[in-house]
Amino acid sequence: MKNNKLLKTLLPLVVLAILLFAQKFLNSSDKAEENVPALTSSPLPESVQDLSLPVAPPSKSDILIEHEGFALLYDTKTLCPRWVAWELTAEETRGKVSRQNIDFKEDESVPKQYQVASWDYNGGGYGRGHMCPAGDMKWSQEAMQDCHYMTNICPQTAELNKTWWEHLERACRQWARQEGAVQIVCGPIFSENPKHFGKKHRMSVPRAFYKVVLSLKKGKEKAIGFYYTNDNAIQPMEDAVRSVDDIERLTGIDFFSSLPDEQEDRLEAMTDLRVWDK
Domain boundaries, the chain: 37-277
In Å, how far are 36, 164, 234 from 54, measured between CA atoms?
A: 21, 24, 29
Of all helices (H) and strands (E), which one includes residue 243? none
Residues 204, 83, 53: CA angle, nearest 5 degrees:
160
pLDDT of 12 > 60? The answer is no
Q: What is the mean pLDDT of residues 214-220?
A: 97
Give me the pLDDT at residue 51, please. 64
Residues 248, 259, 222: CA angle, nearest 5 degrees:
75
pLDDT tens, position by position, 123-139? 999 999 999 999 999 99
219 sits in the region (left: phi over 0; alpha: psi -120 to 50; else beta) called left
* Averaged pLDDT of the chain: 86
Rg for the chain, CA atoms, rounded? 23
Q: What does the CA dihedral 162, 164, 167, 171 come to, rounded to 10 degrees? A: -140
Question: The domain 37-277: what is its CATH number?
Answer: 3.40.570.10
In Å, how far are 6, 7, 77, 204 from 10, measured between CA atoms?
A: 6, 5, 44, 49
H-assigned helices in the chain? 2-34, 141-146, 158-159, 165-179, 237-240, 244-251, 261-267
